[in-house]
Amino acid sequence: MCALRYEVKLWMVNDKSEAVFGNGLAELIEAIDKHHSLLEAAENLNMSYRYALHRISLAEKRLGETLVTRVRGGAKGGGSSEVTDFGRDSVRRYRSAQVMMGRFLKELP
């Protein structure tokens, strides 16, 4: 008999039960915080810039809060992205829930 274990996917949802925050968005926000650039974060995650921007914009729309502030660059570049305190707190809460869920699942038979 092969060993079995439990795995779950965890999402944070808004008051309309719309998925807002999951592991992919948490990774994206963590990468933006590290690189201070949405473009660099997307590239490091092998994600298109357009898709990364869509993920952030959709989550912000569903939350009614800003996760990342973006400053557009000009013809010579120079744009930047900074994670807001709300964005950092959302990642922290999500990661904490993941840890708690993992501990709970390990205790199941």
DSSP state, residue 74: B
User: Tens place of pLDDT for every residue, the chain, 109 residues?
Assistant: 788 888 899 999 999 999 999 999 999 999 999 999 999 999 999 999 999 999 999 999 999 999 999 887 755 667 789 999 999 999 999 999 999 999 999 998 8
Distance CA 56, CA 66 (A): 9
Domains of the chain in sequence order:
20-107 (1.10.10.10)
State the Cα–Cα distance between residues 17 and 90, nearest whole angstrom. 17
Cα gap 11→31, rounded to integer Å: 19
Pick from 95, 30, 19: nearest CA to 59: 19
Task: Determine which helix (DSSP H) or strand (DSSP E) holds 26, and give its type and residue range.
Answer: helix 23-35
Q: Helix, strand or coil for residue 70?
A: strand
Q: What does pTM read for this prediction?
A: 0.90
